[in-house]
Structures are given as C-alpha cells and as structure tokens.
Chain A
Amino acid sequence: MNVEDRLRKGAPGTVEFDPARFADRAMKEGIADVAYAHADSPLGPLLLAATPHGLACVSYSDFRSEDATLERLAARLSPRVVEAPARLDDVRRQLDDYFSGRRRSFELPIDWGLVGDFGRRVLGRTAAIPYGSVATYGDVARAIGSPRAARATGNALGANPMPIVVPCHRVVASGGQMGGYTGGIERKQHLLTLERAGDRLC
C-alpha cells in the first residue's frame, strides 16, 4: 500500500472534548460575554442567557429556534456566546420554584441590553405588577406617562426578551380579553392560571 492510501485509510482517531472544562475556563477568564443554558419547564424547553451584568434572555425554544435566538444575542450583545450551564443555575432554580408555586417573585440581576429605552420603561413598570394580578395595556401606558401609547406598549411587551421573569403575561387587553403573548396565548393562560392557584396556596 502506498503512503497516500495508508494516510486515507488509517485515521489516527480523535479525542474527547470536555465542554464543562471549556465553559468553566471561559467563565473564569471572563471571556464568555454571553453564557447560555437549556432548561425544561412546564411550558416546554427554554433557552436562558446571561451576561456578567445579569439575565438577558429567556426564550421559548419551540416558539423561536435556538439558533435564531443565539444569532440575535451574538449580533446585539457579543459574538462570544458560550454554552455555560453553571452560570444559569440560579436562574434555573428560581424558575423551577416559580413553576412549582414556591416562588412569587424573581431575585435576579437583569441585563437590559436587548431592550430599547421605551421598552425598558414598559418592562420596568410591568415588573412591578404583583404576582397573581393583571393590568391592561392602557394601565401600563398610563403608568409610564404615555397614555396614548397602549399599542406601542403592547409591541414592547411582545418584544420582551425575558418572559416569565419580567411578567408580561400579567398585562392583558381591556374588556376581559387576553391580548397576545410572546410565547403564544396558551402559555399566557397557563401562567395566569398557575399564579391564581399559587395565590391561593401562599
């Protein structure tokens, strides 16, 4: 057998890559600008992402593809996007507690990097709506001093990059209608039902 054939035939093999070792080192060296992790929830798989400043993104993976979410994070925050599950342990734990009714509010630093100025006012106000209650789009618009911006408020809520944690599901249309939701209306219904049950328990 000639050398070319031997080179083609007898591949020298490969080695294992340890992703946890890589993620650990990337976090320690401060070069993982955006750390992300997968999480399961009663509403389906979630993709969670955080920067050194705080949680930046919670995304319903079967609503928006993970690749699309990661590409958005890379374009808007930093291309140094790394899967680093340990960085999101606390977020995952708080979400588990919330879904099991043991937690009514999140204590997490937030990175608002994906949100514009108006959206930040809307979501900031939304974060203050108590567990188990709802407000209308008009209520939120009035509360931030833009009473005529109910529609823009709805759009800002629809673009909420941190659903569940920033409880945009607590904002509904007037007249008893649900309004839209960033993960589909069934998820909004599920969260509101969960909070009514949790409200009775706590």
Chain B
Amino acid sequence: MALPPFQLALDHHRDSLARFLVATVGPQEAEDCLQETLIAALRAYPRLRDGSNVRAWLFTIARNKALDEHRARVRRPVPVAEADTGGAVALADEPDEELWSAVRALPPKQRAAVVLRFVNDFSHRDVAAVLDCSEEAARRSLHEGLARLRREME
C-alpha cells in the first residue's frame, strides 16, 4: 500500500490535531502550532514507511511542536490573565478553563496522555504509539496525570 496523498491525510486528521493542540498549548498558540505541525509533516512525509500509522505519526509531530511551544513560553512568559482567558471567548463550547489550565501545566507525557485519551478518544495503544512507549507506560502516564489533576481540582 503506497502512502496516501498528503492532502487526504491532512483533511482527515486536521480537526482532531487542532483539538489536541488547543488542549495542549492553548487557543492562542494552537493555530501557529497546527501550521508548523503540518509543514513539518509534509516535509518529512516521503520518508514515512508505507503502511505506517499516519495518524500516530502526525500526532507525534504535533506533540513535538507543542513541546517546542512550551519551551518557548518558559523563555517568554505571558501575563497570567492573558494566557488564561485570551482567545477562549471565541470558542463555541464553554471551556472549563480552570481544568484545562491545569492540564497544560502537567508534565509533558502526562499532559499528552490525558489530552489524547479525553480530547481525541485515542485507545491506550494509540496513545502509546504517539508517546513512543509501551502500552503499560502510556496507562501509567495517564493515571499519574489524572491523579495529579484530582489533587489540584478536588
């Protein structure tokens, strides 16, 4: 099976990637992050092996772009009020900002596991593919993330 045309993969996974990035880096940075993710993916696409899991591969790239974004944010801190509420106003659903801010503050693996599981409905196995770890380790990251959120929220 040859690689599908890139545009078809993009059309298929774009919305799901957008939701992942909003949850992971916030609405302010998600649009740029999504563009960066898809440009990086297009650049590397011919090197992807036939029969690869294109979705997991795209989310791995998105996760790396989100990590870059988090690192950049540490270097250029944004005023807290702006970071927490900006952009969210435009969203259709009422987002639970307190909760999602706490999600964004989780350590990277836990954050990715929680978002992939609860925002993107990934199976534990697919979460493991994105995190490039065992299914067991993916479950552990998820449980640790949830435990931490519980401590902070409840």
Contacts and interface: CB of A to CB of B under 8 A. Distances in A.
A16 B92 CA distance: 12
Nearest to B102: A3
Contacts of B99: 3, 6-7, 10
B19 A80 contact: no
Interface stretch (B32-40, B58-66, B129-137): B32-40
B154 A3 contact: yes
Interface string A15-59: 111100110011001011010100000000000000000000000
A79 B52 CA distance: 14
Contacts of B18: 14-15, 17
A4 interface: yes
Given A12-B100, A13-B95, A70-B7, A7 B19 contact: no
Interface stretch (B67-75, B76-84, B145-153): B145-153
A78 B46 contact: yes
A71 B4 contact: yes
A12 B146 contact: no
Interface residues of B, number: 44
Given A25-B39, A32-B42, A78-B46, A13 B146 contact: no
A30 B87 CA distance: 33
A2 interface: yes
Given A7-B99, A17-B14, A29-B43, A22 B5 contact: no
Contacts, number: 120
Nearest to A35: B7
A7 B45 contact: no
Contact of B149 (A3, A10, A13, A70): A3
Interface string B8-24: 10100011001101110
- Chain A interface size, as a band, is 35 or more
Interface string B91-112: 1111110011001000000000
Nearest to B94: A10
A142 B118 CA distance: 67
A13 B95 CA distance: 7
Contacts of B42: 26, 31-32, 80, 82
A200 interface: no
B50 to A, nearest CB: 9
Given A3-B146, A3-B149, A10 B96 contact: yes
B59 to A, nearest CB: 15
18 contacts: A3-B150, A4-B146, A6-B153, A12-B22, A13-B19, A14-B15, A14-B19, A15-B21, A22-B38, A29-B39, A34-B5, A36-B7, A70-B5, A71-B2, A73-B5, A79-B45, A82-B7, A83-B7
Given A12-B22, A17-B34, A22-B10, 10 more contacts: A6-B96, A7-B114, A7-B119, A12-B23, A13-B88, A13-B93, A17-B31, A73-B5, A74-B2, A80-B46
Interface of A: 2-4, 6-18, 21-22, 25-26, 29, 31-32, 34, 36, 67, 70-71, 73-75, 78-83
